């Protein structure tokens, strides 16, 4: 084996990826060639230098990822095929029947939005109402034509049999309706605001994503602030933060931002909050950042605060 | 040698993991969560190491495990679950790397609301000691390593990452990337040659 071919194979040798016979021939050559032995030593040093370049994964990031994933799954991410359709699948199907895909929903202000009303009910039971057909209700003229599982969701509140063999059932009906309109339409806006309280976090993220373009309106601003301060899912809070960006000089907004900076358990949220607060500095910014420096344990957030304080020629701590 | 909670990489699925997968396929949410926890640290580490951004790594994590959730019913136990999962993860990471290449965002410098900052500055300073010359040398070396890695194609970078940092064998890497062991070997060879030529003076 020549020195040239050894030089070509040295890295694969280091990684143990040569064929056994190639490896044998290379080792025989190395034993008698000081230059190639040095080459192998260089390969080892290169690998050791590259070992230094691992990006740390903070346990916090891992926990956030897990929490977000489980929230998405529990909230009804599209289920595996073959299982009963969950609300999310039905929701997507409702979308697909009108639009080509969810991506369209991400269009900015003025985009047409579509909201499936049925999904805003607090409790959804895909109804199988076939038991009603031809029973007592038929006598009372209840139309069952529209009561297919796709149209109506119901929650039975009480069931009371009487001695004559009849039964009285009280139930709430939720009809799914599809409405379509522009974002500046008041009724669409109201539905989006309602969606921002919906139990399913995926619906909350989508509605925040649309609402964030119109933070100028005060109900929208309140919804964004409420989501930022209270929503348990970090991705919803991050969307709300994006929406609050244009109005981050508003004193009420800053008050909530300051509170979130000190209390939010998600570092990505805190990083974004620092960005918003320092973009428009006011008298309270320095004090706020200094108190963050006292209690913050995330390196990234500390670094950001430190940088902002240095730029403002302020000391890093209070004395 | 690359291992994970599920056992040796490349092996067929162990009985415990098989039971978890089968339960998750039946819709058992706890089993799905346990399955995620068995593999998610290595997935996040891979994404973080390749993309150097917690936000992007988080996106990869979410996208990958949601795809697993949606498609687990299609897993037929004809390869190791690790390979199947990494096929998904590497595809998503490669897409991200290609997008960055196009956008010329490979630089470690990121734009933020308060001006450009060097992403690497936010990581732990390695090997800082009382010797300023050594610190300077380390800093230069780090810069060189970054630019050497930036010069790799997304595929070379992926193969190098999986072999050097994740400790996977080229045969398993080829299987994950839908290519042959030989093609993966060529990729690793090109990647190391490029790095040796850029980093030669430092080592």
Specify the pLDDT at position A188. 85
* Cβ <8 Å between A69 and B58: no
- What does the mean pLDDT of chain A come to? 75
Per cent of chain A over pLDDT 90 is 20
Taking only residues 115 to 154 of chain B, the set having a beta carbon closer than 8 angstroms to any beta carbon of chain A reads 117, 121-124, 126-127, 141-142, 145-146, 149
Non-local (6+) Cβ contacts of B66 within 8 A are A69, A72, A73, A77
B10 dihedral zone (left: phi>0; alpha: psi -120 to 50; beta): left
pLDDT of residue B12: 56
Higher pLDDT, B168 or A267: B168
Q: Rounded CA gap, B50 and B92, in Å? A: 11
Break chain A into its structural domains and give their ranges: 3-51, 72-86+183-311
B122, B170, B200 member nearest A299 (Cβ):
B122
Q: Tokens at residue A310, please?
A: 């240095």
**Alpha carbons A176 and A171: distance in angstroms, whole number:** 16
Q: Find out whether B182 and A1 touch, Cβ atoms under 8 Å.
A: no
Higher confidence at residue A140 or residue B181?
A: B181
Q: What does the pLDDT read at residue B168?
A: 95
* Greater pLDDT, B72 or A110: B72
ipTM rounded to 2 decimals: 0.81
CATH of domain B3-202: 1.10.1740.10
What are the average pLDDT values for consecutive 10-residue runs of chain B, which has 203 residues?
43 77 92 94 95 92 94 90 95 92 55 47 46 74 86 95 94 94 95 89 71
Of 2.120.10.30, 1.20.1630.10, 1.25.10.10, 1.10.4190.10, the CATH number of A72-86+183-311 is 1.25.10.10
Query: Closest Cα of chain A to B170: distance in Å?
Result: 7
The DSSP code sequence of B14-72 is PHHHHHHHHHHHTT-HHHHHHHHHHHHHHHHHHHHHHH--HHHHHHHHHHHHHHHHHHG
**Of A285, A264, A115, which Cα lies nearest the Cα of A204?**
A115
Token pair in block for residue A246? 């244009």
Q: To probe the interface with B, which of A69, A70, A237, A242 has the most B CB atoms within 10 Å?
A: A69
User: How much of chain A exceeds pLDDT 70, in percent?
Assistant: 73
The DSSP bridge partners found for residue A152 are A175
pLDDT for the residue numbered B43: 96
Burial (CB < 10 A; 0-12, 13-18, 19+), residue B201, is: exposed
- Say which range, A61-70, A96-105, A290-299, B39-48, has the weakest mean pLDDT: A96-105
DSSP assigned state of A122 = S
What is the structure's pLDDT at A76? 63
Give the predicted TM-score (pTM) of the model: 0.51
Between positions 53 and 112 of A, the ones with CB within 8 A of B are 53-58, 61-62, 64-66, 68-70, 72-74, 77-83
Strand-pair partners of A112: A182
Convert B134-165 to b/e letters by CB count within 10 Å (16 or more is b).
Answer: eeeebeebbebbbebbeebebbbbbbbbbbbb
Amino acid A154: pLDDT: 63
């Amino acid at each position: 084996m020549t020195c040239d071919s050894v030089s070509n194979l040295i890295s694969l040798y280091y990684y143990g990826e040569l064929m056994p016979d190639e490896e044998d021939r290379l080792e025989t050559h190395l034993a008698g060639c000081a230059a190639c032995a040095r080459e192998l030593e260089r390969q080892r040093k290169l690998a050791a230098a590259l070992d230094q370049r691992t990006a740390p994964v903070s346990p916090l990031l891992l926990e956030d990822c897990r929490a977000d994933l489980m929230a998405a799954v529990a909230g009804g991410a599209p289920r595996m095929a073959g299982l009963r359709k969950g609300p999310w699948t039905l929701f997507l199907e409702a979308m697909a029947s009108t639009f080509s895909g969810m991506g369209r929903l991400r269009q900015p202000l003025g985009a047409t939005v579509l909201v499936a009303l049925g999904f805003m009910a607090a409790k959804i039971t895909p109804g199988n109402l076939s038991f009603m057909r031809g029973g007592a209700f038929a006598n009372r003229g209840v139309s069952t034509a529209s009561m297919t599982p796709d149209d109506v969701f119901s929650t039975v509140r009480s069931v009371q049999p009487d001695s004559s063999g009849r039964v009285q059932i009280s139930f709430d009906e939720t009809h799914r309706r599809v409405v379509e309109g522009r974002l500046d339409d008041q009724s669409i806006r109201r539905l989006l605001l309602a969606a921002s309280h919906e139990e399913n976090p995926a619906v909350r993220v989508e509605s925040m994503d649309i609402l964030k373009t119109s933070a100028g309106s005060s109900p929208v601003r309140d919804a964004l602030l409420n989501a930022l301060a209270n929503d348990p899912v970090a991705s919803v809070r991050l969307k709300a933060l994006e929406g609050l960006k244009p109005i981050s000089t508003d004193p009420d907004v800053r008050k909530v931002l300051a509170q979130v900076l000190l209390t939010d358990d998600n570092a990505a949220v805190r990083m974004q909050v620092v960005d918003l607060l320092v973009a428009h500095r006011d008298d309270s910014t320095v004090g706020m950042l200094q108190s963050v420096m006292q209690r913050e344990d995330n390196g990234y957030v500390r670094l950001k605060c430190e940088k902002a304080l240095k730029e403002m020629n302020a000391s890093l701590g209070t004395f | 040698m690359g291992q994970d909670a599920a056992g040796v990489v490349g092996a067929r699925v162990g009985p415990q993991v098989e039971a978890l997968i089968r339960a998750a396929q039946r819709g058992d949410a706890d089993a799905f969560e346990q399955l995620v926890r068995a593999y998610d640290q290595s997935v996040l580490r891979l994404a973080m190491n390749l993309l150097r951004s917690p936000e992007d790594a988080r996106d990869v994590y979410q996208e990958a495990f949601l795809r697993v959730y949606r498609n687990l019913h299609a897993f037929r136990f004809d390869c190791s679950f690790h390979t199947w999962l990494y096929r998904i993860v590497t595809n998503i990471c490669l897409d991200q790397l290609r997008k960055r290449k196009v956008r010329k965002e490979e630089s470690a410098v990121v734009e933020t609301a308060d001006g450009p900052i060097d992403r690497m500055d936010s990581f732990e300073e390695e090997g800082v000691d009382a010797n300023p010359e050594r610190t300077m040398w380390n800093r230069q070396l780090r810069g060189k390593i970054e630019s050497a890695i930036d010069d790799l194609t997304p595929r070379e970078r992926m193969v190098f990452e999986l072999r050097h940092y994740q400790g996977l064998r080229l045969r398993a890497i080829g299987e994950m990337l839908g290519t042959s062991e030989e093609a993966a070997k060529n990729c690793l060879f090109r990647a190391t040659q490029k790095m040796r030529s850029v980093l030669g003076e430092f080592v």
